[in-house]
Structure 1
């Protein structure tokens, strides 16, 4: 088979390869800009519900990721790629995964870990083996579990309460914790959960605003609907199979990081399979693991672990679902 050839004519570089030839006007910068735009509604919602500190965390997290990427690439004598905006997206998503009262330096630790270890040490954008923002959430959770689960609700902030320490456990408990305790009568209304008027991390509480961003990305053809929709549906099915009452399943879907993870992190180009069949398998795996962890594990949330586990399995899924090359003879 003929190899690809690079030729230079009059100083111009041409890339010659075998058919078929697929062309696209998309660039990493354009795609990441669309993702940032899609995250804006949820960011505005986080500021509305959790106050100005939410905006401060988002800005500092994004700036830390950009600075870490710049310094790392400079020291490693690589091309500076901060202009592609991927580090900004990672920073926003990390901020979306922490409570509003999270100490800033802990968030910055997660930012540095995500960019330096998960992204740059594996070759930069496109080579990371799992979603950097989720990896940061896991390492922050492992290091400072108490701080990561100190979810202050908007109602508590209105009353001047900035920590759940010493607060009433029922009023400070998140919907997933209440479901885990079978305290269904204490759950907030589905309307409050849909708009984001509940305790939780910055970017996961308002399902409606996250879905607005999801629809924008689908319309712009940045992502397809398959992974998010299949992920959520499979999660719902297995939650019911594993014993969650049918009338409580909608609360499970709106609670925690399911919508955020399904729409903005499970769809990461670098860490999900390249074939349609592979992406369907990936989404089913994410849904099953999320439901299993939520119902059977000691932690009320399972989205981060589920997506990261499936990220690790992505090369295996690609291996068994890849299609034959054009012109390849059957064995």
Structure 2
């Protein structure tokens, strides 16, 4: 018995994809919107993003060392979490906000539930929602060129108008990484072409949201208003980069559609009937929590006597 044979059930899939490769692809796709955010809001925005990344990496390393767990910082998942969190923060927050946010994302949302692959919600969005609830004033302070002003979504909710071109290209107030719909779309298409993500969740999510706003948004068949709602806030960033998270989205084909439809409806409800102009983060978090139920009811039946 000089050789050992490892036997496992099918399917037997061979792939060159690794966690680190997938994370690097997503990080690469986020570089355009990250660079634009720093250009648009100034050098301090870059500091916020770097501190977020450093906080997430340090939190993961310290926690895993303290718990005597296998170190996973080299898989770049903590780097991606920090980058996404940084892109979801206003460019005016004090430096301790990304430090707290990064530690919360890694320790509370990720590590306490077993680490990578075990978290029940997107760590970056979980941290953002925590920061919004805990430090609402700081998390809703937006600025361009040092002058605080309302975001386009807040202006639309107040009955004012917004410049669609500025929203599409990104020259508006907002959080660091969500203002340029054009660059986010380029990054999302890159991930689809690379087959890192599939088109179904982002397309169905945005499509469902569009239908909801046409029916219940209060502006009728106003396509300009609809385009502003789609380009504004975190819808594009959330649809392509966070709703598609492998761990917190359904794996069943039907489940992915149900999940995306749910996100579109929730985002529309929050934006139309809620007090805040935004709603993407809370919509995705709620969707993440419901993923086990969605997968249970959309699991395909096995072929045979017990199946259909």
Same-fold call, TM > 0.5?
yes
Partner residue, 1:235? 209
Question: Shift of residue 323 of structure 1?
Answer: 2.1
Separation in structure 2 between the aligned mates of residue 9 and residue 264 of structure 1, nearest angstrom: 48
1:139 is the counterpart of 2:113: no
Partner residue, 2:299? 322
Question: Shift of residue 329 of structure 1?
Answer: 4.3
Q: Residue 178 of structure 1: which of 155, 176, 179 is its match?
A: 155
Partner residue, 2:47? 56
Partner residue, 1:210? 184
Question: Shift of residue 206 of structure 1?
Answer: 0.5
- Which whole-Å deviations, capped at 9, do the CAs of 1:56-113 have from their partners, x for residues lacking one? 1111111110110001011111100100000000000000111111111011101100
- Which whole-Å deviations, capped at 9, do the CAs of 1:204-255 have from their partners, x for residues lacking one? 0001111111011011100001101111111111011113422311111111
Instruction: Report 1:179-198 matches (<5 A).
Output: 179-184=156-161, 187=162, 189-198=163-172
Instruction: Report 1:71-86 matches (<5 A).
Output: 71-86=62-77
Q: Residue 32 of structure 2: which of 30, 41, 55 is its match?
A: 41
Q: Residue 289 of structure 1: which of 266, 280, 294 is its match?
A: 266
Question: Shift of residue 306 of structure 1?
Answer: 0.5
Q: Residue 85 of structure 2: which of 83, 91, 94 is its match?
A: 94
Question: Shift of residue 328 of structure 1?
Answer: 7.1
8 Å CA contact retained: 2:192, 2:199: yes
Partner SS, residue 143 of structure 2: coil
8 Å CA contact retained: 2:259, 2:291: yes
Partner residue, 1:260? 237
- Which whole-Å deviations, capped at 9, do the CAs of 1:119-172 have from their partners, x for residues lacking one? 00000001100000000000100111111111102xxx1xxx35x3xxxxxxx1
Q: CA RMSD in A?
A: 1.5
Separation in structure 2 between the aligned mates of residue 325 and residue 19 of structure 1, nearest angstrom: 15
| Unaligned segments of structure 1, at least 5 residues | 1-7, 165-171
Separation in structure 2 between the aligned mates of residue 149 and residue 54 of structure 1, nearest angstrom: 15
Separation in structure 1 between the aligned mates of residue 304 and residue 129 of structure 2, nearest angstrom: 44
Partner residue, 2:104? 113
Partner SS, residue 314 of structure 1: helix
Partner residue, 1:4? none
Q: Note closer, same or farther for the CA distance 1:123–1:57 as it changes in structure 2 (3 Å cut).
A: same
Q: Which has the larger radius of gyration?
A: 1
Partner residue, 1:168? none
Q: Note closer, same or farther for the CA distance 1:123–1:325 as it changes in structure 2 (3 Å cut).
A: farther
Question: Shift of residue 325 of structure 1?
Answer: 4.7
Question: Shift of residue 19 of structure 1?
Answer: 2.4
| Unaligned segments of structure 2, at least 5 residues | none
Partner SS, residue 269 of structure 1: coil
Separation in structure 1 between the aligned mates of residue 131 and residue 10 of structure 2, nearest angstrom: 46
Partner SS, residue 247 of structure 2: helix
8 Å CA contact retained: 2:55, 2:98: no
Separation in structure 1 between the aligned mates of residue 131 and residue 15 of structure 2, nearest angstrom: 38
Partner SS, residue 134 of structure 1: helix
Aligned length in residues: 305
Q: Note closer, same or farther for the CA distance 1:326–1:123 as it changes in structure 2 (3 Å cut).
A: farther
Separation in structure 2 between the aligned mates of residue 282 and residue 53 of structure 1, nearest angstrom: 36
